[in-house]
Amino acid sequence: MPTDKNIPVTIDEALSYGQVLSYLADPGSVQIQQFKEDPDAVRGRIESQLLAATSIEALLGEREMIQGKQFVNKPFQVRSVEWRLSDFDGEGLPFYAICEIVTPDGTMHALSCGARSVVQKLAIMVSNDWLPAWVRITEGKATDAGYKPLDLASAPDGF
């Protein structure tokens, strides 16, 4: 883990689960730097994903991006997680999670979520090598500001 207060973030060296957990433990100790996408790194990542495809659907299909709040109480299996810098100003984390997920019917999607509890639990799951895992997003009671906090709960075997 970096010892200085700036975590260098580039498209070819994205945020790691360790950096995410460090920020969540002490946001003041870490300053996330903005970055520009390197077209060669983006192309390399896409090519790697194509070469790693395990089915014709994974190779040719388009991944639908689902927001976490649109997937409340629906079970899914998290296959992998990566973190991206947020472009939202104001409250919330400066990054969010993108998960490669599979629904009980076998459909693959990309799911994005920036809820603190969800991001934290995903980072812990990755750090402990607990993926793939069946989970579901839950929604708490509305806060005074009207927000409904999201969390991650177990969904054994997709049910």
pLDDT in tens, 22-49: 888 888 777 776 555 567 776 777 787 7
Mean pLDDT, residues 53-66? 74
Instruction: Examine the pLDDT at 12 and tell me if it is beyond 50.
Output: no
Mean pLDDT, residues 146-157? 89
This prediction's pTM: 0.75
Per-residue pLDDT band for 139 (boundaries 50, 70, 90) equals: very high
Where are the domains positioned within the chain?
Answer: 6-158
Instruction: Examine the pLDDT at 9 and tell me if it is beyond 60.
Output: no
Handedness of CA 88, 92, 94, 99 (dihedral sign): negative
pLDDT in tens, 87-108: 766 677 888 999 999 999 988 8
Instruction: Examine the pLDDT at 11 and tell me if it is beyond 50.
Output: no
Q: What is residue 10's DSSP assignment?
A: B
Under a CB-based contact definition with an 8 Å cutoff, are residues 95 and 116 in contact? no
pLDDT in tens, 108-129: 889 999 999 999 999 999 999 9
Strand partners, 65: 110
Q: What is the rounded distance in angstroms from the CA atom of residue 73 to the CA atom of residue 68?
A: 10
pLDDT in tens, 68-88: 999 999 999 999 998 888 776
State residue 37's pLDDT score.
59
Q: What percent of the chain has pLDDT over 70?
A: 79
Q: Which helix (H) or strand (E) holds 56?
A: helix 56-60
